[in-house]
Amino acid sequence: MPDANPTGPPRRWITGQALVRNEFGAVLLAERTGPNDTRQWSLIGADAHPDETALNAAERAVRGKLGLPLKAKRLLCADHHPTTPIRFHSGLAFVFDFGSIPGPAVLNLDLRDVTGYGWVRPDALTVLDPAQHTRIEASLTSLHARTTAFLPGCP
C-alpha cells in the first residue's frame, strides 16, 4: 500500500477520554444507548472538534458532562481503532488521568447524550465490551506503572 498523500490524508477521528476515579478506586463510566438499543458503557469523553486536541476534548467533556474543573495529569493510553460498521473511519482514542475525586463529590451530570453514569470497581470491568475493558484495564495498569500504553487495535 502506498504512503498516504500528505496533502490529502485519510479521514480519521480522535477522541479524548477521562479516567476519573473515586476515593475507593472505582472508575466513573457513562452509559449510552448503542446500536439496536444496546447499552454501552465507556469512559467520559468527547470526539475532538477540528483543530482541537484529544486533551482539550477530554477536558471539555469533564467540564461539560460532569461539571468539574479537573485538568488532565498525563496520558495513560492511546488506542487505535480500525474501521467498523459504527465508525466508518479509523481513529484514535486517548485516555488521560484526571485523578480521583473525594466522595461525596457533587457532580453536575449532563444527561443529554447519555442514559446514566456509574462507578465501577476495577475488578468488575469484565462486564464491559472487550474494547472498553481492554482500554480501561491498560489505562489503570499505566497509571500504577507510570507508563503509557499503546493498543494497536480492538480485541
If pLDDT is split at 50, 70 and 90, which confidence band does 3 have?
Answer: low
* Each residue's pLDDT tens digit, 36-76: 666 788 899 999 998 999 999 999 999 988 888 889 999 99
Distances (CA, A) of 73 to 93, 113, 122, 124: 17, 26, 20, 25
Looking up cell 468488575 gives 124
**Residue 135 amino acid letter:** R
**Nearest alpha-carbon partner for 45 in 103, 102, 91, 113:** 113
Model pLDDT, residue 152 = 83
β-pair type (39-47, 27-33): antiparallel
Question: Residue 71 and residue 18: Cα distance in Å, rounded?
Answer: 10
Length of the chain: 155
Distances (CA, A) of 70 to 33, 60, 113, 142: 26, 10, 21, 20
* Each residue's pLDDT tens digit, 85-143: 666 778 899 999 999 987 666 677 777 777 888 888 998 888 788 888 899 999 999 99
If pLDDT is split at 50, 70 and 90, which confidence band does 147 have?
Answer: very high
* Each residue's pLDDT tens digit, 8-40: 656 678 999 999 999 899 999 988 765 566 678
If pLDDT is split at 50, 70 and 90, which confidence band does 1 have?
Answer: low
Can you count the helices (H) and strands (E) in the chain?
2, 7
Question: Residue 126 and residue 55: Cα distance in Å, rounded?
Answer: 26
pLDDT of 155 over the 60 cut: no
